[in-house]
Every structure is written in C-alpha cells, then in structure tokens.
Amino acid sequence: MIDYESRDIPNRNIRIGLKTYVGQNTWTDGVWNIAGKKVEKHITWTGDLANGQVSYWRLDESSGILADEQSNNTLTAVDLLYSQAGATVNTETSINFSAGDSVAFNSTPVGMDGNLSGTFWVRADTRTNLDTMIGMAGASSYSINLFFRDPDKIELNAFDGSSFTGITDFTPYMNSWTFIYWEMTSSTLKFYINNSLVMDNSSTWDGFGTVGGVTNLTIGAHLGGGRDLRGGMDEVGIWNRPLSDQEKSYMWNEGVYCAYGDDTCNPTPTINLDAPANNTNFTLTNNVTHNATIFDATNITNVTFWLDDQINATNTTAGLNNTIWTFEVVGLAEGDHLWTFEACNFDNFCGNSSESGRTYNVNTTPDIQFGAGVPIDHTNQTTNSFEVNVTLTEDLFNNVTFDLYTANGVLNQSVTFTNSSREKVWASLPDATYSYNVTTATSTNQFNSTGTRNITIDSSSPSGELFAPPNPVIFHDVNTNLSVNWSVNDTNLDTCILEYEGINRTLTCSDNQTTINITTSSNRSLTLYVNDTLGNSNSSSVSWNYKIFQNSLNYSLTSVGGNTEDFTLNITKISSLQIST
C-alpha cells in the first residue's frame, strides 16, 4: 500500500496506471479501489496480453517497413497497399496484398522459440489453393504455415522435416474480415475462427514445436515464395505462450476487437443501475429493492450485489441480455448505504456498473408532536387532571408510551399503547409540579420523543385569617389609627388585599400587620382577600364594636380662675354601658 499524499496528484483530470506482473498461463482480474471507488475498466492490454508477447504489428503504416510494437521484429514490406480500411471500427488501417510479389517478412526473427500462438485479422478477396497468410521456418527444416486449402478451407500445417501434420476446417468466409487464433505448443495444435474453436489436433500431435527458434517469417506469402494472399491483413500478434480463453475473448470482443493498447476497450457486461435513484431517502421502510438492467453480447453467468463495499448476495442463475436483475435487502441499518452491481458473462469477463455506485439513506425515525389542547410548557392550573395527545408517523408504528415524572425527575406513572390510542388523561393528581413527555417506537426499532413539558397543579385555596382589631374595641378616638393583624399561608402565594370602606388596599402578605385610620364609628368591618399564582383565592372578614367611640372633644386650652368654662365631649357607646353623672 502506498500512502496518499495530495500534493502528488495534480488538480486536474488525470489517468492513473497500475502495473502488475502475472505468470505464464495466468489470467488476472483485479478490481482496484481508489479512495473507496471501484475502477471500472481494469482489464487492459498492458496488464495481461503483454505477458509473453514476442511481436505485434498493427499494420497501420502509410508506407515503408512495418513496425513491431515490441521492437523485436520489424518487417520488410514489398509491393503492399497501405492505409486500407481497418478490420473493425477499433482498428485504424490495414494493409493489402495482391497476387505477385506482395509480402512482408523478416529473415532473422528473434524471440520465437518453443510454444507459440498468434492472432490476426484476414480478408480474402479471392482464394486459390495454398494462398498463405503466415509462414514460419525453423531449424532442421521445420516449418509452420497457415494457408487456404482447396481453397475453401483454412489449414494450420506443421512440417517436422519428414512429414506434415495439419488441421483443416472448411470456412465460408469470403470478402469479409475474419479473426484467427492459432496455437502450436508441445502438447496442442489448434486454431479458432472468430473466437470459436474449429479444429483441435492435440490428441495426435507429436509436439515437435519450434525447438531452435523460428529463423524466417513471412506474412502474406509462402516461405518459398508465391502462394500469395490476395486480400488484407490487420493486427498480427505472436506470443511464446498460449492465450487464455479470457484473453482470446477480450481481443475478439464480439467482433469489434480490442485494438492493441486500447485500455478503453471493454468486453465486460454493461450494467445500468435502475432503482433506487441516487440519494433516495427511505423514511417509511428499511426494506429496499435494488435492480439493474444488464446487457452483454453473450449471456450473463452471474450477478453480484455489492452493499457498502461488501458482497451482499450473488445470483448464479444464467440470464439473458437486457434482463432486469433484482436484489432485496430486508432490515437495513439506519444511515447511508452505497450499492452497485457486478456482472460476469460466459467469457468470464466481469464488469461493474457505469456508475461508481449509488447512495441512499435509511431514516425511519418516526415523527411525533404534541397535539391540540395539550398544556403549554410551565402551565399552572388548579384542576387535578390534564390530557396529553400526540400526532405521529403511523407507518411502521409499534407502540407509543406516555410518561409522567415528578419535579425531581422520578418516573411517577407510565402507560404504553400498541393500539390506536394517541391520548392519555392524567387524573386525580396530587398538588405538585410534574413533567411529562411521549415516546413512540417503530417496527424498525427506531424511537423518537416529544419535548418535555412542565406543569404545576395547585387545587387548594390559600389560607388567610384576620386577628385584629378585636371585638369589642374598648376605646377609640376618631381620626386615629386602628391596628389590623392577620396570618396567611400558601405554597404559591401571590397577593393580599385589605378592603375597608369599599376601598381595596394591597398589602405585603408577609407583613402580617398594618393600620387603618378610623373616621367614623359606623364602619366596623374589614375583609382580607388572599390570592395565589394559580388563581385560587380566599377571604377572611372581621367586625367589631366600640364600647366607647369618641366622636369629638371641645374645651378651652386656657382657663381663668373664677370663670366658667365649657367642656364638651361627644361619644358613642354601646347600649349596655351606663354613664354616671
């Protein structure tokens, strides 16, 4: 693993290459992950087909020699027609041979020894017996030739110096490009036409091979001259190993060919993710169905569903092209999920969707709110009951729980409903301060609660009692103050009001005493009103009599001896009191 350093990668569109080495006869399919994303195109020429490749001629020159992409065996060209139409849409141009001396050759090739295989495209405009496509000569008069026989057959022919071994197959191909794969090793002798095995003579093959190496190579003509191909050739390659079925299928690519070095060539299935759409939010279910439409030139052998970068399930039932494949996941965890499909075809090529993957979110947390008529937070009330009701998400409903707590947070009462009940009346509650809330749960094991509200219940009226003035008042003088005393008690005491002579006077409840000015003996009653903060009220009244009420007193402040002075006293007395003269 190489540590990521952001300064190593320019801030623009770039191509990242990963080079691997694989052993002979080994096909490696690597799915690379970079920054958590799958690399879609991961089967390349440089990754597989460069292994054991001796030479490769693209044959797209416009003149002169024919270059070898491996720089091993450049071909000398004689009387060729250059820049002809390519074999497929993925090849640039080709060369044409004509009857006569047209040939491409190398009289001292290197690297062709032991097991050999090769591929090329050929088009025969006309055919006669022994028209040759490829000829190779080796030590001790060994030779290998691939040519037309009779002339409606293709033959792969090996000569060990004394006898011929050949395999032949009838071919209907005329005036059309045909893909050929041939193979000659110590144990096999066979060739394919358009990626289909047509002849295999391995069981009778003596396997002399090309020990000592190929010493002469011709393309488009026989080793000894003549027997010229009349038509075109394109994309010729030779390996010192047999190609795997996957490699042959990769190059064939259902007739459109993966041209040399074309890393964008993709013989893998095409996967179009259908549903769910990217960034879907699932709030009413945690069961999600995923589907995709899959296309391929061959049929599909298996489809794998990836969820959160892990294989979730694989369907190995062989399917047809343009088929919708479906995977359902039940009981998904809450949160974000990444999903994609991978599919493999009959040629064992596997590919991912054109998208790097889609994301969706599962959040089945229910919504719950207090309903109409529920007391607001910090409500004060004088009744000993109140109703709580809620509205909530009904989908996935499992239960709803109403909780009532004391002021110090201790659970006082709790009730849970699994039916359609959405309200609860808390009744016959003692005077106190309470808090309450409601919690709902879903079948997906998700919970949500209302906020917590507080309520104070005070159903008792405050107490209040007047103690003074006493009854009777022994003596009182007009326009002087009379003492008033009281006591009050309540948890939520608010105001105290003293009413005298029709006038209300607000008191400080805790003072417990005040005075009133007496202007007449006829008003002899008081009322004390006591209120608490919840609206409860109480009152206490007192009445009294005066034994003697002095209404007035008149006399001269100075007296002269021997004079008669007036002294006037006006009093009101109770009837039972006698005055002596």
- CATH of span 270-362: 2.60.40.10
Supply the DSSP symbol for 140. G
Residue 17's identity, in one-letter code, is G
Contact yes or no for 303/317 (Cβ under 8 A)? no
The Cα–Cα gap between 362 and 360 comes to 7
Contact yes or no for 178/123 (Cβ under 8 A)? yes
The Cα–Cα gap between 399 and 149 comes to 84
CB atoms within 10 A of CB 78: 14
CB atoms within 10 A of CB 489: 11
Task: Kindly state which CATH superfamily the domain 463-549 is placed in.
Answer: Immunoglobulins (2.60.40.10)
Backbone angles phi, psi at 330, to 5 degrees: -105, 135
Contact yes or no for 541/525 (Cβ under 8 A)? yes
The CATH number, out of the four listed (3.20.10.10, 2.60.40.10, 3.90.110.10, 3.20.20.70), of the domain defined by the range 374-457: 2.60.40.10
Contact yes or no for 179/252 (Cβ under 8 A)? yes
Query: Which of 164, 195, 191 is closest to 257 using CA atoms?
Result: 195
Q: What residues does 507 pair with on adjacent strands? A: 496
Banded pLDDT at 100 (limits 50, 70, 90): low
- Please report, rounded to a whole number, the percentage of residues in the chain having pLDDT higher than 90: 45
Residue 257 confidence (pLDDT): 82
Whether the per-residue pLDDT at 55 is higher than 70: the answer is yes
Fold of 54-255: Jelly Rolls (2.60.120)
Confirm whether 270-362 and 374-457 share one CATH topology: yes
Residue 15 confidence (pLDDT): 43
Strands of 213-363, DSSP E: 214-219, 231-239, 270-275, 280-282, 288-295, 300-307, 310-315, 323-329, 335-345, 350-352, 358-362
Structure tokens at 519: 């202007």
Q: What is the mean pLDDT of the chain?
A: 84
Residue 28 confidence (pLDDT): 44
Query: Which of 421, 448, 449, 416 is closest to 435 using CA atoms?
Result: 449
User: Domain residue spans in the chain?
Assistant: 54-255, 270-362, 374-457, 463-549
Residue 140 buriedness (CB in 10 A; 0-12 / 13-18 / 19+): exposed
Mean pLDDT of 404-431: 95
Chain length of the chain? 581
Question: Up-side HSE of residue 562: CA atoms within 13 Å toward CB?
Answer: 0
Q: What residues does 137 pair with on adjacent strands? A: 143, 216
Distances (CA, A) of 249 to 171, 255, 256: 20, 10, 11
Mean pLDDT of 96-125: 86
Whether the per-residue pLDDT at 104 is higher than 90: the answer is no
pLDDT digits (tens, 9 = 90+) for 326-362: 999 999 999 999 999 999 887 777 888 878 899 999 9
Residue 576's identity, in one-letter code, is S
Distances (CA, A) of 40 to 32, 228, 340: 8, 44, 12
The Cα–Cα gap between 455 and 189 comes to 94
Whether the per-residue pLDDT at 27 is higher than 50: the answer is no
The Cα–Cα gap between 133 and 131 comes to 7
